[in-house]
Amino acid sequence: MSSSNPSNQRSEPGLASVDPRRLESIMQSVADHPGTYRSSVTPTPDAVMVASLVDRFLWLAFPGFFGPPIDASDSQEGLRAGVSFLIEDIVRRLRPQLVTAFAYDPQDGEGCLEAEASTRADATIQRLLDAVPTIRGLLARDAVAGYEGDPAVRHPDEAILCHPGLHALVVHRFAHEMHQAGVPLLPRMLAEVSHARTGIDLHPGAIIGGGCFIDHGTGVVIGETTIIGERCRLYQGVTLGARRIERNADGVIRRGYRRHPTLEDEVTVYAGATILGGETVIGRGSVVNGGVFLVQSVPAGSVVSGPRLEVNLRPR
């Protein structure tokens, strides 16, 4: 017996059902704004593949916590096999995205030939693999900092599994290495996938020391030229940003200069604080209290309070 539901009898609309005038209008809008589309001649890294790399960097940072389980029948051999397979998978996924990024450099519109792009991609992969032990060491310290800095965490595993700040740092540390290697676009794409997932906006150019703890994390913004020292703590809603947008004489925005602050070692910045400017340095061991708006340097050991700015040296 056939169904009496009219929707079951209706064919799916196809391109033929589109009013040609509407289609032409849409196509004209594409032609009028060529910067809004790309083709096989001018490709960009694949966003879906980039998102899959974000997952796999987390798996590599903490094998067995995330991703495929480690075979327990022989833990050492199982771990070796799992990590080996994961590295091969990352390289297989990463290399085409690197070639694409180098071949079509969106920063200046001038890429390189595929042979050169392939050579640069291979060199970047070797550099990244060489950096993995250092990256994992930093992340291990970040995980400990999360456990030691959060009284709501009952076990170090909880920090690894549950802290969005740590997950954001995982992606950042891999993306930063690629940024330092001069990879166009791809590090920022990785960072933005992480931003969407965690609510934490870490530009891959930022330098972040080990033992970093970003608690809660929602709304944290760390700009491109920020420098954060060792064992620093940041809470939700913190902004480390530029004081102003500078322009050249011809009105074009300046790029590539220091415009974000420096936090020396063991600085704590509480929720909602804003620290701006490339010349702003927060001295070692200082505490910036919640809601402070700060555009000047403070000496080591300071306590900065607001809403009216007040700087006092911490008791020794």
Torsion 121-125-126-131 (CA) sign: positive
Enter the CATH code of domain 219-316. Answer: 2.160.10.10
Examine residue 307 and say whether the peptide bond preceding it is cis (omega within 30 degrees of 0).
yes
Q: CA dihedral in degrees (150, 155, 158, 159; nearest 10)?
A: 40
Structure tokens at 143: 């995980």
Residue-level pLDDT at 7: 46
Residue-level pLDDT at 178: 98
Residue-level pLDDT at 18: 83
- The residue ranges of every structural domain in the chain are 43-198, 219-316
Segments in the chain below pLDDT 50: 1-4, 6-7, 9, 11
**Helix 75-103 to helix 186-198 angle, to the nearest 10 degrees?**
120
The answer as to CATH 1.10.1060.10 being correct for domain 43-198 is no
Helix residue ranges per DSSP H, the chain: 6-9, 20-32, 47-61, 75-103, 114-149, 156-162, 164-180, 186-198
Order across the sheet with 201-202: list the strands.
201-202, 221-222, 239-241, 274-276, 293-294
Place of tokens 């920022």: 188
Q: Determine contact, residues 248/227, Cβ cutoff 8 Å.
A: no
Q: How far apart are CA 209 and CA 49, in angstroms?
A: 28
